[in-house]
Amino acid sequence: MRAVFPGSFDPATRGHLDVARRAAAMFDEVVMCVLTNPKKTGRLPLAERLALLTDMTSDLANVTVDCSAGQLLVDYCRAAGIGVIVRGMRTPRDLEHELPMAQTNRHLSGLETLFVPTNPAHAYISSTLVTATAQR
């Protein structure tokens, strides 16, 4: 079975890598899909995010990296033959945000969402925090 691990990955963190590794152990293939919103400007250029993810996951034979701009995740999954969305959960607040989206995705397309609790060692690392620290 194929799964997608979507996100902005702006930048990718050790927490993202932990979730990708765990998902890779559960699925035949995991696609880390960088989602972009044409109305938002990312911190890192798309090409840099893709290269970073490719490098980070180079030892995971069943993990690939892709991107999707401006299309609904359910449409991307339908076109790619993907049946499961993987989402990392750091805090209860993440669940509050992700649960309605998971329910909507299931209603729209039948896609299931697998919530993967983050390793406690990475629970308080966020892309925003990494970027803020790097700018200092």
**Domain ranges in the chain?**
2-134
Q: Answer whether 51's CB lies under 8 Å from 32's CB.
A: no
* Residue 68 known to be catalytic: no
* Residue 78 known to be catalytic: no
- Nearest CA to 128 out of 36, 5, 13, 40 is that of 13
**Confidence (pLDDT) at 41:** 75
Determine if residue 107 is labeled as part of a ligand binding site. no
Determine if residue 128 is labeled as part of a ligand binding site. yes
Q: Answer whether 98's CB lies under 8 Å from 127's CB.
A: no
Q: What does the pLDDT look like over 73-102, one tens digit per residue?
A: 999 999 999 999 999 998 889 899 999 999
**Confidence (pLDDT) at 122:** 57
Q: Which residues contact 112 (CB under 8 A, 6 or more apart)?
A: 83, 84, 85, 106
- Nearest CA to 76 out of 64, 67, 88, 87 is that of 67
Determine if residue 68 is labeled as part of a ligand binding site. no
The CATH-assigned architecture of domain 2-134 is 3-Layer(aba) Sandwich (3.40)
**Confidence (pLDDT) at 70:** 78
Say which of 21, 22, 40, 58 is annotated catalytic: 40
Q: What is the per-residue DSSP string for 71-96? A: S-HHHHHHHHT--EEEEEE-SHHHHH
Which parts of the chain have pLDDT scores under 70? 122-136
**Confidence (pLDDT) at 42:** 78
